[in-house]
Amino acid sequence: MAVYTQVSAEALGDFLARYDVGELVSAKGIAEGVENSNYLVETTQDRFILTLYERRVNADELPYFMALLDHLAAKGLSVPPAIKDRNGVAIQRLEGRPACLIKFLRGVSVSHPTPAQALVAGGALGQMHRAVEDFALDRPNSMGAQTWQALFEQCGRDLDRIHPDLYDRVEEALDQVLARWPTDLPTGAIHADLFPDNILMLGDQVTGLIDFYFACTDLRAYDLAVMHGAWAFDSTGTDFFPATGHGIVSGYRDAFELSEAELAALPVLAQGASLRFLLSRAWDWLNTPADALVTRKDPLAYLRRYDFYRTFDPATTLQGVNADPFLA
Amino acid sequence: MAVYTQVSAEALGDFLARYDVGELVSAKGIAEGVENSNYLVETTQDRFILTLYERRVNADELPYFMALLDHLAAKGLSVPPAIKDRNGVAIQRLEGRPACLIKFLRGVSVSHPTPAQALVAGGALGQMHRAVEDFALDRPNSMGAQTWQALFEQCGRDLDRIHPDLYDRVEEALDQVLARWPTDLPTGAIHADLFPDNILMLGDQVTGLIDFYFACTDLRAYDLAVMHGAWAFDSTGTDFFPATGHGIVSGYRDAFELSEAELAALPVLAQGASLRFLLSRAWDWLNTPADALVTRKDPLAYLRRYDFYRTFDPATTLQGVNADPFLA
């Protein structure tokens, strides 16, 4: 969430000369995305995002992300593909880092999504899943269910420094969730991190899906569960907003498809998604100095979500789609 | 150099509705300026910078800065005045902070100014000094010569943690510089911080002077001395670039005026400017945790400049303008 690598105006001018994008007019370091350096660049022709990839993105995986974005853009989805230079090259090097010049998308990320915005956002996820049905590449989910136990063990008893008994709570939760983790649901390329931050909107219209650097091959309904937990609660995980949650799930189902089996699995998938963000936040919490100039995100906001998703009565999911708490 | 105060899209949309600037299209937190929070905001009509003023800018002083920017803009200088809302109000509150919506200026800050760029940059400072000859407001220089002794004493012997003997070196330097500090040179509103960061350029044209939050009433030639030290050296203060330094001074003189007395005082003014930045950097260094995510700027880069400016032979300044080392 900062600019880690400084790019001089002179180096940026030289970089842009590789492309057919006009001359440099303005460049501002921007504070967004995962741990990359980003600039909003204006040329005489257009605006772009310049991304320099820092440690969290493995350069070897950039071709997967860029192929996915190209695929989605070719299907008409509003995603930001990398611009190709005069030689057709999208992934460059700049200031010693892998770097891409990326299409700029209009829109803002809402902080308090309305049910109407949740409906179109869920629809956008459904459109994405439909669009990748013929996408050929695979990438394992580096933060998927099979990784949580190891991350839990890396955090270890330090978890209790965040909250007493957190270690025991997570140990038990992982046992329960992983024992019931579904294996026979449809898979595909998923976004895996579609928080409100990562959807650009203007009013009630989606103008862009961004930040695909956790995209991978995994259960499609898991993507929906991640989104449900990210959109339908206040930031502390205390208050659940049923109409917003309903918008996410019904928007998705209307735009694509959601089987009875996927719907029935949403509670355990949402419990798992809660543990995934609990664990990554806990790891960051334990490894970020308290006085660093980054905001540590509270892991307990996801323990609260986990507890919420445990109280779903599985029986209600058997009464048909319209009685499902996710669609209530 | 970060976004300290988050502004939600919803709050920003409400804020923009006070103005006649169109609807919100995009907003990105940007990493620039002194310790304020800045957003690059695009509307259906134009682009703007939204600044929320954090602790380093005293809200009581904003009217001075805004009056100065309005004055300069009215004279045709490319500076970023604050936009007034439908009620004529420029200084607002947003998320509990004083806030202004500011004109966006094209251009980029060069990292390695050429002599041609230094010439037009010096000229821009001269134009600014000419334009404020009839500016009526005053503001004391909160980082002026009269403040250095106190800042030195606040740093105290901790200076030696930065470099052995730094305390003694600065004590002696301050004695020498303050004893010779000129009092009879022309004064006016000065920028006081016109580093390359704070001039926007496109090629060899100046497109904007920005970041006036150190502006104050002080010796005009001191402003030129600050700029000389900021532009004519590499960032470590080791290498001096004579043609760049010449460009700053001759560009200024061509655009405005520079008396024999001001020219003769440039060495001591430049020594003083070096001590001013040495001391503020040393204070920040001693008060910034080593692991904080901000880059600490090396105070010694300004001790090197101070030493450089001591070796000017004062005699050469008596031989006329063209033999002056500042114009060599």
Query: CB distance from B26 to chain A under 8 Å?
Result: yes
pLDDT for A322: 53
Host domain of residue B189:
115-327
* Euclidean distance between CA atoms A134 and A132, whole angstroms: 5
pLDDT for B2: 64
Tens of pLDDT along B134-164? 999 999 999 999 999 999 999 999 999 999 9
Query: CB distance from A204 to chain B under 8 Å?
Result: no
- Inter-CA distances, B197 with B21, B73, B74, B121, B304, Å: 28, 20, 23, 12, 21
* Alpha helical stretches, state H, B24-165: 62-74, 115-131, 145-155, 159-162
Q: Is residue A4 part of a domain?
A: no
In this structure, the answer to whether residues A140 and A281 fall within a common structural domain is yes
Judge: A110–B30 Cβ closer than 8 Å, yes or no.
no
Query: CB distance from B202 to chain A under 8 Å?
Result: yes
Judge: B24–A108 Cβ closer than 8 Å, yes or no.
yes
| Residue in the structure block whose two tokens are 């629809």 | A123
Tens of pLDDT along A61-73? 999 999 999 999 9
Token readout for B163 is 């470099």
* Euclidean distance between CA atoms A81 and A102, whole angstroms: 6
pLDDT for A231: 97
Smallest Cα–Cα separation from B227: which of B206, A79, B81, A260?
Answer: B206
Q: Which residues of A touch B24 (CB under 8 A)?
A: 108, 202
Q: Is residue B4 part of a domain?
A: no
Judge: B28–A28 Cβ closer than 8 Å, yes or no.
yes
Q: Which residues contact B133 (CB under 8 A, 6 or more apart)?
A: B188
Check: CB of residue B96 under 8 Å from CB of residue B75: no
Output b/e per residue, B222-239; b: 16+ Cβ within 10 A. Answer: bbbbbbbbbbbbeeebee
pLDDT band at B33 (very low <50, low <70, confident <90, very high): low
Query: CB distance from A45 to chain B under 8 Å?
Result: no
pLDDT for B328: 63
Judge: A3–B31 Cβ closer than 8 Å, yes or no.
yes
Gap from B231 CA to chain A (nearest CA, Å) = 15
Q: Are strands B24-30 and B37-43 parallel, antiparallel or unpaired?
A: antiparallel
Query: Residue A228's beta-bridge partner residues?
Result: none
Check: CB of residue B122 under 8 Å from CB of residue B227: yes
Average model confidence (pLDDT) for chain A? 92
* Euclidean distance between CA atoms B112 and A13, whole angstroms: 13
Tens of pLDDT along B158-209? 999 999 999 999 999 999 999 999 999 999 999 999 999 999 999 999 999 9
* Nearest chain B residue to A295, by CA: B4
Q: Is residue B307 part of a domain?
A: yes
Query: CB distance from B8 to chain A under 8 Å?
Result: yes
Choose the mutation target among A7, A26, A54, A294 for the interface with B, i.e. most B CBs under 10 Å: A26
Average pLDDT over residues A14-29: 96
Residue A323 has pLDDT above 70, yes or no: no
pLDDT band at B288 (very low <50, low <70, confident <90, very high): confident
In this structure, the answer to whether residues A42 and A143 fall within a common structural domain is no
- Phi/psi for B190 (5° steps) reads -120, 160
Q: Is residue B312 part of a domain?
A: yes
Q: Which residues of B touch A108 (CB under 8 A)?
A: 9, 12, 24-27
pLDDT for B314: 44
In this structure, the answer to whether residues B99 and B137 fall within a common structural domain is no
Q: Is residue B119 part of a domain?
A: yes
Decide: residue A293, CB within 10 A, 0-12 exposed, 13-18 middle, 19+ buried.
Answer: middle
Query: CB distance from B17 to chain A under 8 Å?
Result: no
Domain count, chain B: 2
Query: CB distance from A40 to chain B under 8 Å?
Result: yes
Average pLDDT over residues B10-36: 91
Give the CATH number of the domain where residue B287 resides: 3.90.1200.10
Residue type (1 letter), A277: F
In this structure, the answer to whether residues A123 and A86 fall within a common structural domain is no
Q: Which residues of chain B form beta strands (DSSP E)?
A: 24-30, 37-43, 47-52, 92-94, 97-103, 187-190, 199-202, 205-209, 216-219
* Euclidean distance between CA atoms B277 and B297, whole angstroms: 10
Query: CB distance from A147 to chain B under 8 Å?
Result: no
> Looking at beta carbons, which pairs linking A13-21 to residues 24 or more positions away fall under 8 Å?
A15/A50, A15/A92, A15/A94, A15/A99, A15/A101, A16/A41, A16/A43, A16/A101, A18/A85, A18/A86, A18/A87, A18/A89, A18/A92, A19/A83, A19/A84, A19/A85, A19/A86, A19/A101, A20/A86, A21/A45, A21/A46, A21/A48, A21/A83, A21/A101
* Euclidean distance between CA atoms A248 and A241, whole angstroms: 11
Q: Is residue A137 part of a domain?
A: yes
User: Which of B68, B103, B138 represents a domain boundary (last residue)?
Assistant: B103
Smallest Cα–Cα separation from A214: which of A206, A205, A223, A204?
Answer: A223
Check: CB of residue A121 under 8 Å from CB of residue A232: no
Token readout for A80 is 């930001």
pLDDT band at B321 (very low <50, low <70, confident <90, very high): very low
Gap from B108 CA to chain A (nearest CA, Å) = 5
Q: Which residues contact A165 (CB under 8 A, 6 or more apart)?
A: none
Tens of pLDDT along A100-116? 999 999 999 999 999 99
Gap from A263 CA to chain B (nearest CA, Å) = 32
Check: CB of residue B188 under 8 Å from CB of residue B109: no
Q: Which residues of A touch B27 (CB under 8 A)?
A: 108
In this structure, the answer to whether residues A92 and A186 fall within a common structural domain is no
pLDDT band at B229 (very low <50, low <70, confident <90, very high): very high
Q: Is residue A1 part of a domain?
A: no
pLDDT for A326: 80
Judge: A111–B29 Cβ closer than 8 Å, yes or no.
no
pLDDT for B320: 47
pLDDT for A36: 87
Q: How far is CA A152 from the centre of its chain?
A: 21
In this structure, the answer to whether residues A181 and A145 fall within a common structural domain is yes
Residue A293 has pLDDT above 60, yes or no: no
Judge: B9–A289 Cβ closer than 8 Å, yes or no.
no
Judge: A30–B30 Cβ closer than 8 Å, yes or no.
yes
pLDDT for A87: 96
pLDDT band at B293 (very low <50, low <70, confident <90, very high): low
Output b/e per residue, A178-217; b: 16+ Cβ within 10 A. Answer: eeebbeebebbbbbbbbebebbbbbeeebbbbbbbbbbbb
Choose the mutation target among B14, B26, B109, B294 for the interface with A, i.e. most A CBs under 10 Å: B26
Smallest Cα–Cα separation from A292: which of B134, B29, B292?
Answer: B292
Average pLDDT over residues A23-49: 91
* Euclidean distance between CA atoms A162 and B321, whole angstroms: 68
Q: Which residues contact A153 (CB under 8 A, 6 or more apart)?
A: none
Percent of chain B with pLDDT over 90: 85
pLDDT for A66: 96
Query: CB distance from A202 to chain B under 8 Å?
Result: yes
Check: CB of residue A221 under 8 Å from CB of residue A241: no
* Euclidean distance between CA atoms B302 and A221, whole angstroms: 59
Interface of B with A in 97-116 (CB under 8 A): 106-112
pLDDT for B138: 97
| Closest partner CB to B2 (pick from A24, A31, A108) | A31
User: Which of B74, B103, B132 represents a domain boundary (last residue)?
Assistant: B103
* Nearest chain A residue to B4, by CA: A293
pLDDT band at B5 (very low <50, low <70, confident <90, very high): confident
Token readout for B222 is 């001191």
Residue A277 has pLDDT above 80, yes or no: yes
Q: Is residue A110 part of a domain?
A: no
pLDDT for B311: 86
Query: CB distance from A3 to chain B under 8 Å?
Result: yes
Give the CATH number of the domain where residue A57 resides: 3.30.200.20
Percent of chain A with pLDDT over 90: 85
pLDDT band at A314 (very low <50, low <70, confident <90, very high): very low
In this structure, the answer to whether residues A144 and A56 fall within a common structural domain is no
Tens of pLDDT along A200-234? 999 999 999 999 999 999 999 999 999 999 999 99
pLDDT for B64: 96
Query: CB distance from B44 to chain A under 8 Å?
Result: no
Token readout for A133 is 């049905």
User: Which of A57, A81, A103 represents a domain boundary (last residue)?
Assistant: A103
pLDDT for B63: 95
In this structure, the answer to whether residues A125 and A217 fall within a common structural domain is yes
pLDDT for A13: 96
pLDDT for A214: 95
In this structure, the answer to whether residues A131 and A83 fall within a common structural domain is no
pLDDT band at A320 (very low <50, low <70, confident <90, very high): very low
In this structure, the answer to whether residues B43 and B84 fall within a common structural domain is yes
In this structure, the answer to whether residues A24 and A153 fall within a common structural domain is no
What number of other Cβ atoms are within 10 A of residue B292's Cβ?
Answer: 13
pLDDT for A319: 46
pLDDT band at A4 (very low <50, low <70, confident <90, very high): confident
Query: CB distance from A44 to chain B under 8 Å?
Result: no
Q: What is the ipTM of this complex?
A: 0.84
In this structure, the answer to whether residues B99 and B120 fall within a common structural domain is no
For A82, which DSSP code? B
Cα B3-B96-B47 angle, rounded to 5 deg: 50
Token readout for B206 is 């100046």
Judge: A107–B25 Cβ closer than 8 Å, yes or no.
yes
Judge: A292–B294 Cβ closer than 8 Å, yes or no.
no
* Euclidean distance between CA atoms B187 and B222, whole angstroms: 9
